Structure 1
């Protein structure tokens, strides 16, 4: 075998995609994220990940400016990769055993404000306007937006292919139907130059860049999903199970992280005691 064919990161990602040995397979979006982090780390370490010491790996992960959640995520990713490499005899011992376990507080929901959404909808250009509506009024993830075809959307319901290969039906909001009704069959999100289905990452990056041009730096499409979860919770009479079904979460605890509770609601709850 030519040395250029040796790529343990590629082999590990294939292992994770296949879901071998009973390990939950990674979806397309997660695989892309894992590869981005592992490739970046492998290039950033002089001897690569598998040739570096624990201290060198820790120093790269714990660079100043990285949040606790980012560091925790990087440690989890590299641990899985190195443990696989030990099992496959790429290396002799696990250099990630002594990496710290970094506690991370649960993230707060970040729905975009309603007035900001109204302004964005009034000025957003295609195809980003559709992606913004799909997240804000349908609760779609970028991977679900990428997979969505015109045939999956009716005036009544939208059929989604979500994480883990699971399908779910979400009622179609009139704003979404208004944008989709006259579109041709096939993928709803198509690259302007490639004329091909857009990837989840290209949708995420494209929406973020477009929002920045509209005067909303730091805004991203997942904020629409948080907005959808929050509004669904409010309008359903605080039915968290309904929110769970609409967002496609396997755990109610995950859905709770998508629901923003207004300060006024907290004050009313205490005042009513």
Structure 2
């Protein structure tokens, strides 16, 4: 039988799906974080939202640190719990919010870690082109850095979202769609993956062939690549590269933006490429000059927009 907190968490997940319409990957991350907290409380005999005190949150965050969780992961846990309690208060499921004093640091551009062009090159060339998985990983990394897409957007891509002939990819986030140019290097990496690797991976599937037939990037079981699976592969490659900073799943997206801006891209074009609704979000990287053509800016400013001759 579910505890009250477990029931409330299930209701919150349904709310995120039905009303907030967040992506499945974001929902899964929230669910894992809140579920971890609920299990931690259950071990202390706490099953009601109003029984949770600030000290319980302090103990939980301390426990996460002892587990060796990255600072970015702990920040994500805090943000998930604050959002959960805001929902409970609004729905009348809780009368007090123990997360009010929980510090969730805002993103500071001075603290953003950005890879150098040389580091990006070593990372993107780390996957072997002699295995189906390596060919896929090269295509995924080239697409991620080549488009600045969110990891959830990358994993949600279907074959129909990519037009290699015209050189663009269609990204969808919270039912909002944007078209992003693909550079020649990314186009070639995806083409090789589709011709030499994807069919081999799909042959390993024992699930819904119709649904999996739509997914662009497949795992070794022939199913759509998961966030955890991709993160594991990324860490493995980074671990073998000297002087590589601790990677996060957002780092290639941040690096994409900074490299474009450092090469003279207009910030409003970068805003469109990243899918930022508010220009202030993109202003973390630079100030706003006059806006030129998006495709021209991308082709001239992105380090891997063209293949080496």
TM-score above 0.5:
yes
Alignment of 1:130-169 (within 5 A): 130-151=139-160, 152-169=162-179
RMSD: 3.2
TM-score (norm 1): 0.77
Distance 1:201 1:123, change over 3 A: closer
Determine if contact 1:83/1:94 at 8 Å carries over to the other structure: no
Q: 2 CA distance for matches of 1:176 and 1:239?
A: 22
Distance 1:255 1:15 in 2: 29
Q: 1:198: Cα distance to partner?
A: 1.0
Partners of 1:257 and 1:205 lie apart in 2 by: 29
1:177 to 160, 164, 187: 187
Gap change, CA 1:255 and 1:201, over 3 Å in 2: farther
User: Which structure 1 residue ranges, 5 or more long, are not aligned?
Assistant: 261-273
In the alignment, does 2:260 pair up with 1:232? yes
Q: TM-score, normalised by structure 2?
A: 0.69
Is the alpha carbon distance of 1:16 and 1:196 closer, same or farther for their aligned partners in structure 2, counting shifts above 3 Å?
same
Pairing partner for 2:234 from 207, 226, 229: 207
Distance 1:222 1:98 in 2: 27
- 1:8 maps to which residue? 8
- Aligned-partner Cα distance in 1 for 2:123–2:78: 36
Distance 1:4 1:79 in 2: 20
- How far residue 164 of structure 1 moved from its aligned partner, in angstroms, is 1.5
* Aligned partner of residue 79 in structure 1, secondary structure: helix
Q: CA 1:81–1:67 in 2, change beyond 3 Å: closer, same or farther?
A: same
User: Match of 1:189?
Assistant: 217
1:28 matches 2:24: yes
Equivalence map 1:54-203=2 (5 Å): 54-61=54-61, 65=65, 73-86=76-89, 88=91, 90-91=93-94, 93-96=95-98, 98-102=100-104, 104=106, 106-108=108-110, 109-125=112-128, 126=134, 127-151=136-160, 152-182=162-192, 183=194, 186-192=214-220, 194-203=221-230
Q: Alpha carbons of 1:39 and 1:221: their partners in 2 closer, same or farther (altered >3 Å)?
A: closer
Give the direction of change, closer, same or farther, for the CA distance of 1:158–1:49 in structure 2 (3 Å limit). farther
* Runs of 5+ unmatched residues, structure 2: 129-133, 196-212, 288-309
